[in-house]
Amino acid sequence: MHIDPRHIDLVRAIVADIRRGLPDGVVVARGVDRLTDILEGDESPSERCRRENAEALPYMAALGNGRGAALKAAKRAYPNNPSAHHRVSQRFRRHLREQK
């Protein structure tokens, strides 16, 4: 099961609001706003790319960091979009080179 890092950030923000002693209504309203942002997909393309790159690196490392690993990671990220596999795998390889 894959846990989206945005969900973790959402829960941490709610816990932080509770620890600050904010009223329940404020905590609920802020939590709903944050959840709505996630569900509506307010993530910018650059944020999506950064998130996908960060998720792909450990997966590629487990596969050996080769060209085939980048393609497998791209297929995992976009299982129903064969036209994106080549483009995304190139981005993953470029990100891997930049990390070294």
Q: Is the pLDDT of residue 18 over 90?
A: yes
For 21-80, the pLDDT digits (tens) are: 999 999 999 999 888 877 877 677 788 888 888 888 898 889 888 778 999 999 988 888
3-state secondary structure 49-86: HHHHHHHHHHHHHHHCCCHHHHHHHHHHHCCCCHHHHH
pLDDT at position 8 over 90:
no
Residue 1 pLDDT more than 90?
no
What is the predicted pLDDT for the residue at 23?
93
Give percent helix, percent strand, percent coil of the chain, each to the nearest 5. 80, 0, 20
Cβ atoms within 10 A of the Cβ of 27, count? Answer: 18
Per-residue confidence (pLDDT) for residue 42, from 0 to 100 = 67
Residue 94 predicted with pLDDT over 70: yes
pLDDT-derived band at 14 (thresholds 50, 70, 90) equals very high
**pLDDT band per the 50, 70, 90 thresholds, residue 16:** very high
pLDDT of residue 46: 83
